[in-house]
Amino acid sequence: MVYEVNLDLDAAIAEDYRAWLGPHTREILALPGFLEARIHTQLDPPAEPGRVRLSVRYRLDRLESLDAYLRDHAPRMRADAVTRFGDRFSATRRVLRED
């Protein structure tokens, strides 16, 4: 199972966001069921001028682990990003099943 978070950042905060994203990702990986995380820079389609696009893909053992994260941890962790970066980024999410 893959939990994908796609980020669109104001280029002016990209360096600070990346610095925050490393510890944030490690915090998520410490939770039960999270096995791996990879951070990618999106190349195609390219970001708009003045923007940076990132994609974080988390691999999980099962859907119940993701449900527990979304219920017990995601609200606090998402609020931290909003407190730090305000409206200078947006995030969309997808859940994928490996066939």
For the chain, the domain total comes to 1
pLDDT at residue 65, as a whole number: 98
> How far is the C-alpha of 96 from the C-alpha of 54, rounded, in Å?
17
User: Which residues span the domain enclosing 42?
Assistant: 2-96
For CA atoms 6, 10, 12, 17, the dihedral sign is negative
Q: Write down the pLDDT at residue 77.
A: 95
- Residue among 34, 33, 42, 36 at smallest CA distance from 6: 42
Q: What is the pLDDT of residue 71?
A: 97
Mean pLDDT, each 10-residue run in order, the chain (99 residues): 98 98 97 98 96 98 98 96 97 95
User: What's 60's domain CATH number?
Assistant: 3.30.70.100
